[in-house]
Structure 1
Amino acid sequence: MQSHRDLDVWKVSMELAREVYAVANQMPKQEEFRLTGQMLRAAVSIAANIAEGHARATRKDYAHFVSIAKGSAAELETLLLLARDAALLPPEAVAGVLDKTERVAKMLARLYARLKEPQPN
C-alpha cells in the first residue's frame, strides 16, 4: 500500500465526512457554531487522523492516530444521537450516517488491532 488513499477505511471515512456535511446543512442555523461545527470537526478528524497516522514512521505512531480516529468516530456517533434526540435532525436523516459511522468504527477497530499485533523480527 503506497498511500492512505488506498485504504478502504480512509475511503469510507471520506464518504462519511461528505454525508455529515450534507446532514449538517439540515441543522438549525443557530447550531452552526455549536453542535454542527463539532459534528463536522469530528467527521473530518476521522479521515485526517487515518491519513496522518499512515504517513508516520512507525506502527506505534500509526496505531496512536488510528486510536484518535476511533475516538472521533465515537464522538461523531454521540453528536449525531444528540442531534436526533434533541429534534435538531430528523431520525431518517441521521439513520444512514449512524450506520456508516458504525461501519467506520468497526473498520478502525480491526486496523488498530492489526497494528498492535507483534511483528516478527
Structure 2
Amino acid sequence: MQDFRNLEVWKLAHQFTLIVYEVTKVFPGDERFGLVSQLRRASCSIGSNLAEGCGRGSDADFARFVQMSQGSASEVDYQLLLSRDLGFLPDEEYQTITEKLGSTRRMLNALLSRLRKS
C-alpha cells in the first residue's frame, strides 16, 4: 500500500480537477445539476480511483482502479467536447484543458503498463 499523494499522475489529476471546477463556474446556471455536476464528478473520479487503488493490497487490484480512472478520463473528454460545442467553453480554453487531460491519460496508460508487467 502506498500514499496516493506521492503519485505524479494523482497530482496531475488533482490539478486537472481543480481546473474543471474553475472553468465550470461560468457555465449557465441551468446546467448546475446537469453538465457541471457530471464534469465535476467525472474529473474528481480520476484522482479518487487512483487514491482508492493505492489502498488495495495488490498490483492487480490497483490496476483495476487505474482502468476506472481511464474510463472517467474518457467520460470527461466527451463532456468537455460537448461543453465546447454547446458554447459553454471557448475554443482556446477547451484546447488548454484537453491538453492537460491528455497528459493525465498518458500517465495513466504508463502506470497501467507498469502494473501489468509486475
**Deviations for 1:29-72, whole angstroms, at most 9, x for unmatched residues?**
11110111000001100000001001100111100000000000
Q: Distance in 2 between matches of 1:45 and 1:3?
A: 17
Tell me, which stretches of 5 or more residues in structure 1 are unaligned? none
> Contact 1:23–1:94 (CA<8 Å) still a contact in 2?
no
> Given that residues 2 and 55 in structure 2 are in contact (C-alpha distance below 8 angstroms), is that contact kept between their aligned partners in structure 1?
no
TM superposition score normalised by structure 2? 0.95
Show structure 1 runs of 4+ deviating over 3 A: none
SS in 2 for 1:25: helix
Alignment coverage as a number of residue pairs: 118
1:6-21 to 2 correspondences below 5 Å: 6-21=6-21
- The aligned counterpart of 1:28 is 28
RMSD: 1.2
Q: Which residue of structure 1 aligns with residue 46 of structure 2?
A: 46
Identity of aligned residues (%): 39
Query: TM-score, length-normalised on structure 1?
Result: 0.93
Code of the residue aligned with 2:20 in structure 1: it is V
Q: Which residue of 2 aligns with 1:96?
A: 96
Deviation at 1:92, TM superposition (A): 2.1
The CA deviation at 1:88 is 1.9
What is the identity, as a one-letter code, of the residue corresponding to 1:62? F
1:68 partner letter = M
